[in-house]
Amino acid sequence: MSKSIQNKVNVHSRLTVVSSTPTEPIGRICTLTPIDHIMSAHTVHVIYYYRTSPWSKQGRYAMDLDNVRVSLSELLSKYPRMTGRLVRDEHGKWEVKYNDAGVRMFKANVEISVDEWLRFGGEFDERDLTVWEDMPDGDPTSWSPFQMQVTEFEGGGLAIGISFSHMLADPTSAFLFYKSWTDAERGDPAGHHPPILSLPQLDNRPPNTTSENSSTTIKYLQKNSKLTSVCSTKMATCSFKFSNTMIKQGLSKVVNKCPNATPFEYLTALFWLQIIKLKTLNAHLSTHSISLCVDARKVLDVPLPKKFFGNASHFSQLCIQNEMLMGDNGLAEAVKCVHHHVNGITKDDIFSMIDWVESARDGLNGVYPKAAQMYGPELTSVNLEHLINPKDEVGSLVYEARFRNNEKPIHVSYHVGKAEGAGLIIVAPSPDGGLARTVTVTLPEEEVVKLCDDPVIMEMAPTMVVSGRR
């Protein structure tokens, strides 16, 4: 069997799922935030894999999908941002028109088992489990910015893919929405709580403030907002699953330098150092930098942070001297620096990013600057550890997404569209719970091949998932 598995995904039907209750008043406009606008270059793709169909065969309708469509329609009534359509105002700024046009849903099948797919499939195969579709040029009012795909595997496995424009929501929003859907389908009251759709803190922010972190964020935006074309380098993706035991061993190696390090901080530092060594042209630079993407819901004091649906991802840049990284204690020093940087992010840093976008708009006759490439122009590491329930070390919002038969996902994949360039690292929860993590890495293709043979990474005995048998 080759890198690309032989059995292709067959998309055989398309339908639209609409809200069960109309939005009032119909046609209301939702203004998008400055953070929304700078994310518009990217798309988000999340895929939930189940070994057996998680949907009950008993219900109001004969088909499994028809049963869960009922709960989905009811839930969508609380998410008009998902069922609306993008429009521009008189100044060219994007808005969402609440018109209940619905969410596109595709049905597909593939003649291979889900376990074979996870073992032999590659990133190009996996793209077929979600919708990769850019916003059309011109008038997008007939285009659905949120789309879903349900793919049945041979033997009863199922994949549920969610795709959407990053301008409307971040990856955390996708997980929170999906968890609400599964809760609602099971009859859990938590699934019926309405989401928070706006952040008053973004409008009532204090005067401009600048800190060390916010200065580097502004420099990052200034540099990457000038990008006019996407990198032509062919990118590839691989996913590594690290066990509780291996992460615990890794953290023990840096405990003297950083006793409170998290798995995200350790894995970010580990992959950063190994990727620097792969990028031979950069290996001897005096300074190395990495962009860190963290969730800002709690930093912004959002009431019920796990209910906010929108964009709350914050990017900042960390720079470290080469001599510090490449010394005998390079890994421990890098973990310590990542830890202090992440824990030093404040509300003022986030407001400074918003203020920069607003000031740039003032110089462009009220129009926001072109979308920045936030993921990938320099190596970017995304932290999804906030999706782990701190009161339950075993579970997470990701892997507790269970429908009526309590079937849990066996794997969840995460992808960001147009993350080309230096690379992307996503550190996420693992189905094993605890300290275990799944790390998805996107790099230029020749670098991915080398990374999958890297002795330092392989020493941690990762399980490779949807990585083309690498």
Mean model confidence pLDDT for the chain: 86
Q: Round the CA-based radius of gyration of the chain to a whole number and report it.
A: 22
My answer on whether 242 and 317 are in the same domain is yes
Angle in degrees, CA 91, 96, 100, rounded to 5: 145
Which of 35, 29, 28 has the alpha carbon at shortest distance from 361?
Answer: 35
Residue 5 belongs to a domain: no
Helix, strand, or coil here: 21? coil
- The pLDDT of residue 141: 87
Distances (CA, A) of 333 to 151, 254, 272, 423, 458: 44, 8, 12, 22, 21
My answer on whether 337 and 421 are in the same domain is yes
Q: What is the DSSP string of 93-106?
A: -EEEE-----EEEE
Q: Are 326 and 334 in contact (CB under 8 A)?
A: no
Which of 167, 138, 150 has the alpha carbon at shortest distance from 17?
Answer: 150
* 249, pLDDT greater than 90: yes
Domain that holds residue 323: 208-390+417-465
- The pLDDT of residue 324: 86
My answer on whether 161 and 215 are in the same domain is no
Q: What is the pTM of this model?
A: 0.92
Q: Which residue has the higher pLDDT, 186 or 302?
A: 186
CATH number of the domain enclosing 438: 3.30.559.10
- H or E segment to which residue 1 belongs: none
Q: What is the pLDDT of residues 252-310, one digit of tens each?
A: 999 999 999 999 999 999 999 999 988 866 667 788 999 999 999 988 887 777 889 99
Angle in degrees, CA 96, 98, 99, rounded to 5: 125
My answer on whether 148 and 86 are in the same domain is yes
Low-confidence winner among 207-221, 322-336, 386-400, 446-460 (lowest mean pLDDT): 207-221
Low-confidence winner among 32-41, 56-65, 315-324, 383-392 (lowest mean pLDDT): 56-65
Report the percentage of the chain scoring pLDDT > 90.
Answer: 56
Residue 348 belongs to a domain: yes
Q: Is 408 exposed, middle or buried (0-12, 13-18, 19+ CB in 10 A)?
A: middle
Cα–Cα distance for residue pair 470/461, rounded to 1 Å: 13
* Residue 221 banded pLDDT, cuts 50, 70, 90: low
Interhelix angle 212-224/347-362, rounded to 10 degrees, is: 40
Which of 46, 33, 35 has the alpha carbon at shortest distance from 173?
Answer: 46
- In sequence order, the 6+-apart residues with CB closer than 8 A to the CB of 218 are 210, 352, 353, 356
Segment 335-340 shows an average pLDDT of 97
- The pLDDT of residue 209: 55
My answer on whether 174 and 38 are in the same domain is yes
My answer on whether 302 and 378 are in the same domain is yes
My answer on whether 185 and 279 are in the same domain is no
- The pLDDT of residue 353: 78
My answer on whether 217 and 275 are in the same domain is yes
Domain's final residue, options 195, 230, 264 = 195
Tokens representing residue 110 in the block: 């593939």
- The pLDDT of residue 231: 57
Q: What is the pLDDT of residues 26-71, one digit of tens each?
A: 889 998 988 898 898 899 999 999 998 877 555 444 446 676 788 8
Beta strands in 322-395 (DSSP E): 380-383
My answer on whether 262 and 176 are in the same domain is no
How many domains in the chain? Answer: 2
Domain's final residue, options 132, 161, 195 = 195
Residue 239 belongs to a domain: yes
Distance of CA 215 to the CA centre of its chain: 25
